[in-house]
Amino acid sequence: MTAATLRDAARPSPNVALPLQQGLAAFRAGRLLEAEFSFTAALAANPASFAALQFLAVLRMQQDRMLEALDLISRALRQRQRSPEALALQGVILSNLDRDQEALASFDEVLALRPHDPETLHNRGVALAKLGRQGDAVASYREALEMHAGYAPALLNMSNNLATLNRYDEALAGYDLLLAGGIESIHVLNNRGNVLFSLARFEAALANYDHGLAIGGDHIDVLCNRAAALAALGRHEDVLACCDRLLAIAPDRPGIWNKRCAALLARGCVLEALECIDAALAAEPGNVDFINNRCAALHHLGRFEESLEEADLALSVDPNDALAHVGRGNALLALNRCEEAAECYQASQALGADDGKTTRASLTYLSLGCLAEGWADDSAR
């Protein structure tokens, strides 16, 4: 609630003054049903009350009843078209409805009336980021921080957007400022860990995830990121322990079974890995990552025809999945279908396979295998 809106509430017509004051007191105390009753009574007494419309719009937004909130604030704006408080609230509601282009227009109207408003500059940045305009979002957050240097939401979102833009050093500097300012939250530490992971600083990333979990408890996303860092460090036994911890919280998350499968494959526990990936695929049959892991597990078991079928299935879902081409090439190579395997590896390289070492190793093995095959043919002749 803004100061201007509170001043309006202090001087409404007598038949709405008392319910507005009662509703505001209840709202501040977190008694939302009581606040709703009072604001509704005020609005019934005067359907054109700007303060009642605005207060009830805030309440409906907090209740996640966004369309009702939008209707109420639109009615308020018909009373005062150039109210920066009402326009700002309209922008927030529109952004919550994912109508971010309209939200942006509302925020721009606010800034035309009140240029030095850090909260609106921050909210404008959020809308821009949701529209995929991360660079413009960063600029808007920077403006907000120029007005209010310690504005933590703007600093956090700016750092997150800088990370999205791969401007990792700037993102880390932002997270470090938050931590230095006492904003030592699980979200800051998780996001900082993600940037360090992107920089292949896996030990440092793991330390951030562990610190975040110590503060915020077992958070699923942070635990998943921790498992990824452990996997990158080759600590597969610890990955399995982390996955077990995750499954105790969220047994129905197929991605966790997939992570467990990858760790088991790395340890050579192929049959157990196959059981995990089958559990994941039962929940998400068309997930290409899961199918690729099943393809790899079957390959490890020497079931090359089945592995080839899985690779073909993955490519039927996503023809441009580079790792599926690698899996198909590996299966074909094991079946001595060298020319087809070569085509698969070339396709994976053209698509930019994530596992470049696997592709290069397979290509080397393929060339040696075909040379040997050719030499055998020559000797026979």
Q: pTM (2 decimals)? A: 0.76
* Residue 6 covered by a domain: no
Domain contains 136: no
- The token pair at 289 is 């990552």
Does position 110 have pLDDT exceeding 90, yes or no?
yes
Asked if the structure places residue 42 within a domain, the reply is no
How confident is the prediction for the chain on average, in pLDDT?
87
pLDDT class of 353 with cuts at 50, 70, 90: low
Give the DSSP per-residue string, 13-63. Answer: -HHHHHHHHHHHHHHHTT-HHHHHHHHHHHHHH-TT-HHHHHHHHHHHHHT
Q: What is the CATH number of the domain that holds 378?
A: 1.25.40.10
Segment 307-320 shows an average pLDDT of 96
* pLDDT exceeds 70 at position 326: yes
What pLDDT does 137 receive?
96
pLDDT digits (tens, 9 = 90+) for 50-66: 989 999 999 999 899 99
Is residue 86 in some structural domain? no
Residue 334 sits in which domain range? Answer: 286-381
Least confident segment among 39-43, 101-105, 198-202, 204-208: 39-43
SS3 319: coil
Of the pLDDT bands very low, low, confident and very high (cuts 50, 70, 90), residue 140 is very high
Mean per-residue pLDDT, 235-254:
92
Does residue 10 lie in a domain region?
no
Mean pLDDT of 184-191: 94
366, part of any domain: yes
Tell me how crowded residue 364 is: count the other CB atoms within 10 A of its CB: 10
**Residue 349 belongs to some domain of the structure:** yes
Our count of domains for the chain comes to: 1
Residue 23 lies in a domain: no
pLDDT in tens, 258-301: 889 889 988 889 899 899 889 889 989 999 999 999 999 999 99
